[in-house]
């Protein structure tokens, strides 16, 4: 694939990272990604919910977050929603997805990560791919770091870099 500048990758997340260790790790992968593709990141505010929200309050909060996320999705982007019930891909499979996108002329890819309550069903339904990182549950802020690393790893696989072992 050569230089992956043809890939235009966006990451939209609900909630703001506050933990310095997550911020530092995500920033490092953000720098690496910007050196090998077009990479953009944005956060939307997490819905404010009561301490013990009802299912209806959670659903309303997720719909509110989804509306904010939807406004930021780049036109024509292939949408990948991260959710625990999604498909599990290997790093090589993710790289293959990137290659397929580039080969079909739509290298604009937008990843979505929801808040601590997840991602609205409407966004998952619109997604080209629902992706699960694991059957395990991770803090959504850690998932950002893990996803950024996997995007970088996927690009390095395509470029034949030594990062992926």
DSSP-H helix ranges across the chain: 20-36, 55-72, 91-103, 121-126, 140-159
CATH 3.40.1280.10 for the 4-159 domain, yes or no = yes
pTM: 0.93
Q: Give the confidence band of 137 by pLDDT, cuts at 50, 70, 90.
A: confident
Model confidence over 31-40: pLDDT tens digits? 999 999 999 9
Q: According to the model, what pLDDT value does residue 59 have? A: 96
Instruction: Check whether 111 has a pLDDT greater than 90.
Output: yes
- Per DSSP, the three-state class of 153 is helix
Neighbours of 105 (CB within 10 A): 8
Model confidence over 31-79: pLDDT tens digits? 999 999 999 999 999 999 999 999 999 999 999 999 999 999 999 999 9
Q: According to the model, what pLDDT value does residue 32 have? A: 95
């Amino acid at each position: 694939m050569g230089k992956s500048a043809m890939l235009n990758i966006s990451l939209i997340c609900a909630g703001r990272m506050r933990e310095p260790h997550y911020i530092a790790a995500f920033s490092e992968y953000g720098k690496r990604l910007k050196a090998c593709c077009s990479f953009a990141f944005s956060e939307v505010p997490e819905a404010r919910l009561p301490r013990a929200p009802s299912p209806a309050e959670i659903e309303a909060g997720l719909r509110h977050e989804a509306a904010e996320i939807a406004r930021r999705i780049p036109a024509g982007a292939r949408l990948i929603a991260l959710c625990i019930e999604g498909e599990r891909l290997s790093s090589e499979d993710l790289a293959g997805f990137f290659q397929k996108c580039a080969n079909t002329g739509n290298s604009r890819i937008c990843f979505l990560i929801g808040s601590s309550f997840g991602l609205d069903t409407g966004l998952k339904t619109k997604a080209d791919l629902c992706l699960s990182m694991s059957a395990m549950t991770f803090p959504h802020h850690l998932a950002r770091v893990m996803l950024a690393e996997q995007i970088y790893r996927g690009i390095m696989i395509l470029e034949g870099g030594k990062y992926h072992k």
